[in-house]
Amino acid sequence: AQSVTQLGSHVSVSEGALVLLRCNYSSSVPPYLFWYVQYPNQGLQLLLKYTTGATLVKGINGFEAEFKKSETSFHLTKPSAHMSDAAEYFCAVHSGGGADGLTFGKGTHLIIQP
Amino acid sequence: ETGVTQTPRHLVMGMTNKKSLKCEQHLGHNAMYWYKQSAKKPLELMFVYSLEERVENNSVPSRFSPECPNSSHLFLHLHTLQPEDSALYLCASSQDPGTGGREQYFGPGTRLTVT
């Protein structure tokens, strides 16, 4: 079985400050890892994904994440927060074992202070 | 239309009603999914269809009945729902994971309220 833990249901940062959203996973096989963002009244939009290869993954809107196997982590970062980054962020894992769905964390609500 | 579309966007129904949610994907994918998003709970996978065959049913109550007539369309038929079924229902699609590229693309969701 696989699971995802996102530390902190709410994270507040000042505009221009570093954004760090934490994600730890458990998986019995090498995982595929994803970050999604959800704006109010919308579906989920893919920010970035890790499959194989380079462990530092760059995504849209200036976000990036680093896969650390030894720490079973896939934290999301952005050097400088913008007001438009305020949203709900979800980390997800896929075991790659055939046609099955993603396992999501509970989400982190990112608040940007002006 | 592009991406994944869902209709209706909002639905209010009584517990004795029968309604259907519709999802359509315009991405050429061959796997489709239904998820339930409730407040303060992680997204829950409900159903998976791959190549129009149901491959997963996560112990979903029988009052939810999926239908996948072709690789572009997915329905969720609802009947005799309970108030706790009120949630955002999200549809997603992907390439068959067996061919690589396991990211899923989501529709905007249907906000369901059961009264």
- The answer to whether the Cβ–Cβ distance between B4 and A32 falls below 8 Å is no
pLDDT-derived band of residue B46, with 50, 70 and 90 as boundaries? very high
Asked if B64 is an interface residue toward chain A (Cβ–Cβ < 8 A), one would say no
* Residue from the list A34, A51, A99 with its beta carbon closest to the beta carbon of B48: A99
Q: What is the pLDDT of residue A96?
A: 61
- The answer to whether the Cβ–Cβ distance between B97 and A34 falls below 8 Å is no
C-alpha Rg value of chain A to the nearest Å: 14
Residues 6+ apart with CB under 8 A from B93: B4, B25, B27, B29, B31, B32, B33, B104, B105
What is the tens place of the pLDDT at every residue in A63-104?
999 999 899 999 999 999 999 999 999 999 886 655 567 889
- Please give the average per-residue pLDDT across B63-91, as a whole number: 94
Return phi, psi of residue B99, to 5°: -100, 10
- The answer to whether the Cβ–Cβ distance between A101 and B106 falls below 8 Å is no
B43 CB burial (10 A radius; 0-12, 13-18, 19+): buried
Asked if B71 is an interface residue toward chain A (Cβ–Cβ < 8 A), one would say no
- The pLDDT mean for chain B works out to 89
Q: Do residues A2 and A103 make contact, with C-beta atoms less than 8 angstroms apart?
A: yes
C-alpha neighbours within 13 Å on the C-beta side of residue A2? 24
Q: What is the pLDDT of residue B100?
A: 53
Asked if A51 is an interface residue toward chain B (Cβ–Cβ < 8 A), one would say yes
Residues 6+ apart with CB under 8 A from B87: B36, B37, B38, B39, B112
- The answer to whether the Cβ–Cβ distance between B104 and A45 falls below 8 Å is no
pLDDT-derived band of residue B101, with 50, 70 and 90 as boundaries? low
